[in-house]
Amino acid sequence: MRTQTELLTLAERMPKAELHLHLEGTLEPEQMFQIAKRNNILLKYHSIEELQAAYQFSNLQDFLDLYYQGMSVLLKEEDFYDLTMAYLEKVHAQNVVHVELFFDPQGHLARGIAFDIQINGITKALTEAEQKWGMTYQLIMSFLRHLSEESAFETLDLAKPFLDKITGVGLDSSELNHPPEKFSRVFQSCKDLGLKITVHAGEEGPPDYVWQALDILNVDRIDHGNRALEDTQLTSEILRRRLTLTVCPLSNLKLCVVDSMASHPIQKMLQLNLNATVNSDDPAYFGGYMNENYRALIQESNLTEDELYRLAKNSFAGAWLSTAQKNHYLALVDDAFKAKEPT
């Protein structure tokens, strides 16, 4: 039986996959100021400290207001490259070996930033990370749910020349009053194009939004899914379909989705045999990347070694990887847990 200190060490050194990460949410205050200066953009904040002080949120919308301000500094391909590479360097140092990251093209298109500028900068960094470290990846294009389905269709049309670089499509932004069914037609079009589907549901929205994601959008994965636990029939259906939940502990705490890390539902999800995973969501805004999320769970929720093992395995089991790639990574997880000392 490992001690808590040993579990913390194990969590840091074990291989990890991150399945729920918004690229624009990795924009650290220092980098935001750096890119703003390079692009001659005047921020409303006068210092890094003032900006950091603004990172206090009472709900999802408070966060989104700042999130959209932050992305305004991204104008050129090199900006998207630098943002992506900064994230990849951080998580490589935390033994993240596979990433599946979201980007929000509509938030940039509305500012006149062409689709190719965005995706070329992002994929250049992802390709370099794969070449340098063997890090594998998938790119997920997200639709903004506070915008119309027509806008989503327009974005999908712009993306079609680049579908060889995009594995899946997501749905994020303000959840309340924007149910998944609002986007039923565009997600069917995405399915017809062979794209994977994942949808934010059950973070602030009701269990019914998760039902809609399952039955109307026919999702391949669910992002967050916390409130699904309020409906036993729903949790049974998620289990029956073996859908992965991409859970974000520090994000949930920062946005007041949970009252404390000790009361976080991820352990209940594991008790119900749901395929829950740990992810960082928007780490620059929520106080931590992958290792920090695991550390908070171990220290404040008394996460057990078995639960840590299952979370690590779930992340690769739920990834959009080939069977051979999954088996390779799952074997690495087993090796990490069998090791007596840090390697």
In this model, does residue 56 exceed pLDDT 80?
no
pTM for the model: 0.95
Q: Does domain 4-338 have CATH number 3.80.10.10?
A: no
Q: Provide the terminal-to-terminal Cα distance of the chain, rounded to the nearest Å.
A: 19
In this model, does residue 111 exceed pLDDT 80?
yes
In this model, does residue 124 exceed pLDDT 70?
yes
- Residue 170 DSSP symbol: E
Q: Calculate helix-pair angle for 4-13, 290-301, nearest 10 degrees.
A: 160
User: What's the pLDDT at 30?
Assistant: 92
User: What's the pLDDT at 161?
Assistant: 98
Which residues are part of a known binding site for Zn(2+)? 20, 22, 200, 281
Q: Would you tell me how many other CB atoms lie within 10 Å of the CB of residue 267?
A: 18
Which residues are part of a known binding site? 20, 22, 200, 281-282
* 71 φ, ψ (degrees, to nearest 5): -70, -10
- SS3 of 248, please? coil
Q: Examine the residue annotation and report whether 203 is marked as an active-site residue of this protein.
A: yes
User: What's the pLDDT at 36?
Assistant: 93
Which residues are part of a known binding site for substrate? 282
For residue range 152-177, what is the model confidence (pLDDT) as tens digits?
A: 999 999 999 999 999 999 999 989 99
Per-residue pLDDT band for 21 (boundaries 50, 70, 90) equals very high
User: What's the pLDDT at 327?
Assistant: 98
User: What's the pLDDT at 58?
Assistant: 74
Q: What angle (nearest 5°) sits at the alpha carbon of residue 90, between those of residues 88 and 93?
A: 105
For residue range 182-236, what is the model confidence (pLDDT) as tens digits?
A: 999 999 999 999 999 999 999 999 999 999 999 999 999 999 999 999 999 999 9
Which listed residue (24, 100, 203, 307) is catalytic?
Answer: 203
In this model, does residue 43 exceed pLDDT 90?
no
| H helix intervals, the chain | 4-13, 29-38, 48-53, 60-70, 77-93, 105-109, 115-133, 149-159, 184-192, 207-215, 232-241, 249-254, 266-271, 283-286, 290-301, 305-317, 323-338
Do 249 and 294 form a contact (C-beta atoms < 8 A)?
no
User: What's the pLDDT at 341?
Assistant: 57
For residue range 237-255, what is the model confidence (pLDDT) as tens digits?
A: 999 999 999 999 999 999 8
- 72, amino acid identity: S
In this model, does residue 35 exceed pLDDT 80?
yes
Supply the mean pLDDT for the chain.
Answer: 95
Per-residue pLDDT band for 343 (boundaries 50, 70, 90) equals very low
Do 19 and 100 form a contact (C-beta atoms < 8 A)?
yes
User: What's the pLDDT at 118?
Assistant: 98
Per-residue pLDDT band for 67 (boundaries 50, 70, 90) equals confident
Higher-confidence residue of 44 and 183: namely 183
Listed residue (98, 190, 100, 99) closest to 143, CA to CA: 190
Q: Which two tokens stand for residue 8?
A: 């913390």
Q: What angle (nearest 5°) sits at the alpha carbon of residue 302, between those of residues 222 and 87?
A: 50
Which range (44-53, 89-98, 123-132, 194-203) has the least confidence? 44-53
Listed residue (83, 118, 123, 60) closest to 284, CA to CA: 83
% the chain with pLDDT above 70? 99
Do 105 and 118 form a contact (C-beta atoms < 8 A)?
yes
In this model, does residue 151 exceed pLDDT 50?
yes
Per-residue pLDDT band for 59 (boundaries 50, 70, 90) equals confident
In this model, does residue 15 exceed pLDDT 60?
yes
User: What's the pLDDT at 50?
Assistant: 87
Domain boundary assignment for the chain: 4-338
- SS3 of 339, please? coil
Per-residue pLDDT band for 321 (boundaries 50, 70, 90) equals very high
User: What's the pLDDT at 260?
Assistant: 95
Residues 49-68 have a mean pLDDT of 81
